[in-house]
Structure 1
């Protein structure tokens, strides 16, 4: 029983890290050489 609780706690910690931890997708990365997706004339 204790081993199962330990395993489930480990899983819970992993899920919390996945859900609330820092993610690379959340970082703002805007290289200057990339340019704009829409030119001002093309923008709606």
Structure 2
């Protein structure tokens, strides 16, 4: 089942949430890799 890009009949929120979670994890990973000590609640 290939979904065309122009299909706007059902805006899939599941895909949007999944993309948001993946992007958030990627951002956190980059931050941790760049500054390991900066990961966590900074005073």
TM-score, scaled relative to structure 1: 0.46
Larger relative contact order (CA 8 Å, sep ≥ 6) = 2
The structure having more radius of gyration, on CA atoms, is: 1
